[in-house]
Structure 1
């Protein structure tokens, strides 16, 4: 079963949490954008922000993307200090996995991080206590 089957987005969130808990390369995980805000449109992609002690370990190996479904295409993109893997899964579900270093959410927030978090953020996993919740709180207060 994949996230684009019957259970949809809730399935993806559970699968992401389970994967993050088992991965040595994930220290933080958020859903951002319209899904993170709780108001996706029918044409919205799903934006996932992954914080990692070693971002290239995730960006250079694509095997982990199979955990969430059947990738039909994968495109790597650079966005300043982070990079994304834009994945089109079978069933025309697009997920953008953006991967950054752990300091991406460090206070004070840089302009790019601030804009991403102000657009909506749902924290799924944080091994560093309340680092992500403090970052989201700061973004929402500005």
Structure 2
């Protein structure tokens, strides 16, 4: 992982830990692999009981760099912001409620977590189903 990714991740997790509506954070995709030097974007998966509040807080309260562009995408129960910061770094923040975790993983999300998944912070062991999915599909 690139040094600027570590800096953002540290600052984001520190900030998110102070938000009572955020229950868990994971890195998803190639960025979740510490050994991966690939120039992949950071992709966070956040679990929140107040999805809209969490998305707005990321846009307006997370004190990182100025935002150059933010694109919102809806994926059923998961909503994501793809944010490009002033430095050119791109980060995806996917936010879903706990009900999203109870759904079976679709093919696209399953493929994404198989490229990398790392729980960064979790209040209630929310990501157990995703970890089990990875364990049962690792040799396919």
TMscore range, shorter length: 0.7 to 0.9
Aligned residue-pair number: 132
**What 5-or-longer segments of structure 1 have no aligned partner?**
none
Q: CA RMSD in A?
A: 2.1
Q: Distance in 1 between matches of 2:87 and 2:114?
A: 29
Against the structure 1 CA distance between its residues 34 and 74, is the aligned structure 2 distance closer, same or farther, given a 3 Å change threshold?
same
Task: Please report the TM-score for the alignment, with normalisation by the length of structure 2.
Answer: 0.81
Work out whether 1:41 is the aligned partner of 2:38.
yes
Q: Distance in 2 between matches of 1:79 and 1:40?
A: 28
Runs of 4 or more above 6 Å deviation: none
Work out whether 1:131 is the aligned partner of 2:126.
yes
The equivalent of 2:12 in structure 1 is: 16
Against the structure 1 CA distance between its residues 124 and 41, is the aligned structure 2 distance closer, same or farther, given a 3 Å change threshold?
same
Give the C-alpha shift of residue 117 in structure 1: 2.2
Match among 61, 64, 73 for residue 61 of structure 2: 64
The equivalent of 2:99 in structure 1 is: 103
Give the C-alpha shift of residue 75 in structure 1: 1.2
Task: Please give the residue correspondences for 1:117-128 in structure 2 after superposition, counting only pairs within 5 Å.
Answer: 117-128=113-124
Against the structure 1 CA distance between its residues 34 and 116, is the aligned structure 2 distance closer, same or farther, given a 3 Å change threshold?
same
Contact 1:76–1:85, Cα closer than 8 Å, also in 2: yes
Give the C-alpha shift of residue 20 in structure 1: 1.8
